[in-house]
Amino acid sequence: MTVPAIQIEDLTKDYPAGFLNTKKKRSLESLTMQVEEGEAFGFLGPNGAGKSTTMKLLMGIIFPTSGSAKILGRPISDVEMHKDIGYLPEQPYFYDYLTASELLDYFARFYGFSAAERKARVEKMLKKVGLETAGKIQLRKYSKGMLQRVGLAQAILHQPKVVILDEPMSGLDPIGRREVRDIILELKRDGRTILFSTHILTDAEMLCDRVGVIVGGKLQGVGRPDEIVGLKAQGMEILFEADTGNAKTAAILAKAAKSGSRYALHVPEESLYLTLDELKAAGAKITSVAQIKPTLEEYFMHLVEKDRAQAAAIEVHGK
């Protein structure tokens, strides 16, 4: 049996909160999930859901209140193991007066590459993230998008087996997002494991083998993007054309919604054939039959609203 690339067990994080930090705020609650080797896993959730907290815990930047995690089969406290990991923080901060080349060279020294190797690797990375012409410019003159790319170059410079990217597409224009997406796809083709967080659902749908949805510190579901959405099948939609003057169609038209020159009727899956027969008998022309699937976006909003309703209920009844 192969070991998962990332294994998270019952991970909980409380931050001190309130006046004099005497209270605690639970930001992550008993998170258990795993990311398989070679998988691109999207960690989805609205702001404040606990995505960055999870990633910082995995990187050993903050420490769990309880629970544990392993990366490549080794505990997250294992310093050696971290050489095989690349990390892009949510808001990468770099020393302003360095150029991108200098910064990447500085990081490359950590990994013990020779001078010649460093030079080749830095050039290759700058090219990969589309900064080959900007490499000699000081970082203080960079736009947010350019800094994000330097951060990405820094994260993959040492060809890590596991890449953890916190909102890699944030602050980028559509072209920048596309470029980051291509880089992630390339990492995937190379067989690397990628865990990235996002609140941009289309990016996740396009890139991920699986997604985990987290809201209010709690994991709400894990699965393939289409599976996650398919969790609540919503019946069938029949589009048809019908003659409004026909007395037979009147009953059916009363239940249908007009959509342009056609009508749309939503029915539960089990009554599909019966309805089609009725429509045929009424002389309607059926133009399409399709499954009604909520988008990932709709699923996501549904979870967020559920969580808000629960939180409100606790506030009312809790004390």
Which window, 88-96, 120-128, 204-212, 290-298, contacts Mg ion (CB under 5 A)? 88-96
Residue at shortest CB range from Mg ion:
52
Exposure string for 243-281, b = 16+ CB within 10 A, e = fewer: eeeeeebeebbeebeeeeebbebebeeeeeeebbebbee
The minimum distance between CB 52 and ligand ADP, in angstroms, equals 3
Which of residues 27, 34, 52, 154 is near Mg ion by CB under 5 A? 52
Which element (helix H / strand E) includes 138? none
The smaller minimum CB distance to ligand ADP, of residues 164 and 253, is found at: 164
Which tokens sit at 162? 């596991």
Confirm or reject binding of residue 54 to Mg ion (CB under 5 A).
no
Among Mg ion, ligand ADP, none, the one that 144 touches (CB under a kind-dependent 5 to 8 A) is none
269-278: long-range contacts, CB 8 A cutoff, minimum separation 24: 269/233, 269/235, 269/236, 272/236, 272/238, 275/238, 276/238, 278/252
Alpha helices in 62-220 (DSSP H): 100-110, 115-128, 144-156, 174-189, 201-207
The minimum distance between CB 195 and Mg ion, in angstroms, equals 13
Other CB atoms within 10 Å distance of the CB of residue 192 = 22
Among ligand ADP, Mg ion, none, the one that 108 touches (CB under a kind-dependent 5 to 8 A) is none
Among Mg ion, ligand ADP, none, the one that 101 touches (CB under a kind-dependent 5 to 8 A) is none
The minimum distance between CB 13 and ligand ADP, in angstroms, equals 8
The smaller minimum CB distance to ligand ADP, of residues 52 and 275, is found at: 52
The minimum distance between CB 76 and ligand ADP, in angstroms, equals 16
The smaller minimum CB distance to ligand ADP, of residues 199 and 293, is found at: 199
d(CA 200, CA 204): 7
Report CA-CA distances (Å) from 284 to 154, 265, 276, 292: 61, 12, 9, 21
Interacting residue ranges for ligand ADP, rule: CB under 6 A: 15, 25, 27, 45, 47-53
Query: Cα dihedral sign for 307, 312, 318, 319?
Result: positive
Q: How many residues at the interface with Mg ion, by CB under 5 A?
A: 3
- Name the DSSP class of 68: E
The minimum distance between CB 90 and ligand ADP, in angstroms, equals 7
The minimum distance between CB 222 and Mg ion, in angstroms, equals 19
Query: Cα dihedral sign for 155, 156, 161, 166?
Result: positive
The minimum distance between CB 31 and Mg ion, in angstroms, equals 15
Which window, 45-53, 66-74, 177-185, 235-243, contacts Mg ion (CB under 5 A)? 45-53
The smaller minimum CB distance to ligand ADP, of residues 56 and 70, is found at: 56
Q: How far from each other are the two terminal CA atoms of the chain, in whole angstroms?
A: 48
Please give the residue ranges that form the binding site for Mg ion (CB under 5 A): 51-52, 90
